[in-house]
Amino acid sequence: MIDGLGGVCDDFYVSCRLFLKLELAPGRETLLHFFDRIRKDIPSLTKLHMREGNTIVLEEDAEDGASRRWVRIDPTSLRFGYFAPPSLDDVRRMADVILTQAPYHLTFSELDYDHLEVIYGFDLAYRGNHDQLVAETLIGEHAAGSFLFGDHAAHIIEAQPYFGIALTPDCDEQAYLEVKSRTTPFEVRSATFEGEPITVFLTVRKYWSGQPSDALASCCGHLLDTGHELAMDRIVPGFVNPLAAAIASRPYQP
C-alpha cells in the first residue's frame, strides 16, 4: 500500500472522477470497445455489472482486503478507483490508461468537461458513537464545544467537519476535507453500534477551463501528487492519526 498512507488506517483507497456537463449516451458496442481497450492494460478487470440509474461498473474480482480496481460510467461522469493501491505509481498508471482512452472511445470533448477530482479515503473502524469521538478528538476546546459538550447535550449525534480551500488565486483548483461519521440516533439511543468506519476524505479538484482533452491524464497526475502531499503533511498528522489514537484508547465494543 502507498507508503505513509495505507498503514495509518484500516482501509485506504484512491478514486478519480471526471464530471461532464452533458449526459453520456454510449451504445453497447462503444462501451464494450472501451472496456476491452482498458483490459489490454489491466486484464484482471473481468466483472461487468449494470446498476440502477444506468450505471455500468467494470471491476476486478478480488478477495476482501486485497487490492482491487474498478471503472464506473454514470450518465454524467466517468469514475475509477483503486482500493488498497500498492503505490501511487500504480494509481497513476491506471489513470493514464483510462483518461487517455476515454476521450477517443467515448467521444469526450473539452467543451463538455466540468471538473476532475481525486479523492483519498481513509477508513477507521470504530464500534461506538462516531460523532462523539470526532467531536472530542477534533473539536475539543473549539468555540463549538460550548454547544456540543454543554450540560444541555445528552448525546452528540452530528459532528462531521467539512472544510474547503482554494489552492490557486482564481479558485480553479480546490481541496476539501471531510470527516464522515456513520452513527445513527437509533444506535446511540440503543447503545448498539454497527461496525461501520469513520472515514476521512481528502478531495482535490480541478475545474476545466479550455485545456485540451489530452491534458486529462497529466492533470490527474498533478492532482494525485497534490493530494499525496496534502495527505502526508496535513491530513494524516492532523486528522487521521489523532482519530486512530483516540479509537485505540477506547475499550473495544463487540
Q: What's the pLDDT tens digit per position in 103-153?
A: 999 988 888 899 999 999 999 999 999 999 999 999 887 778 788 888 898
40, part of any domain: yes
Tell me the mean pLDDT in the region 211-230: 90
The count of domains in the chain is 1
pLDDT per residue as tens digits for the range 9-30: 999 999 999 999 998 887 889 9
Of 78, 107, 110, which Cα lies nearest the Cα of 95?
78
Question: 210 or 77: which carries more pLDDT confidence?
Answer: 77
Q: How many CA atoms lie within 13 A of 36 on its CB side?
A: 6
Q: Comparing 3 with 251, which gets the higher pLDDT?
A: 251
DSSP E strand boundaries for the chain = 11-20, 45-51, 55-60, 68-74, 77-83, 113-125, 162-166, 173-180, 197-207
H/E stretch holding 130:
helix 130-134
Contact indicator for 87, 67 with CB cutoff of 8 Å: no
pLDDT at residue 33 tops 80: yes
Q: Which amino acid is at 243?
A: L
Residue ranges making up the domain that contains 38? 6-249
CATH of the domain at 114: 3.30.160.110
pLDDT at 205: 98
In a domain, residue 1? The reply is no
pLDDT at position 254, please? Answer: 57
Asked, for residue 254, whether it belongs to a domain, the answer is no
122, 128, 130, 135: CA torsion to nearest 10 = -120
DSSP 252: P
pLDDT at 1: 59
Residue 214 confidence (pLDDT)? 72
For the chain, the residue count is 254
Express each pLDDT in 151-167 by its tens digit.
898 999 999 999 999 99
Query: What is residue 10's DSSP assignment?
Result: S
Confidence of residue 65 (pLDDT cuts 50, 70, 90): low
Largest interatomic CA distance in the chain: 63
What are the percentages of helix, strand and coil residues in the chain, rounded to 5?
Answer: 35, 30, 35
Instruction: Report the distance separating Cα 209 and Cα 181, nearest Å.
Output: 34
The H or E element spanning position 94 is helix 88-105
Cα dist from 221 to 70, 215, 225, whole Å: 18, 10, 6
Residue 245 in domain: yes
The cell for 62 is 478480488
DSSP code of residue 113: E
Report yes or no on 142 lying in a domain.
yes
Specify which residues 123 forms β-bridges with.
Answer: 11, 199
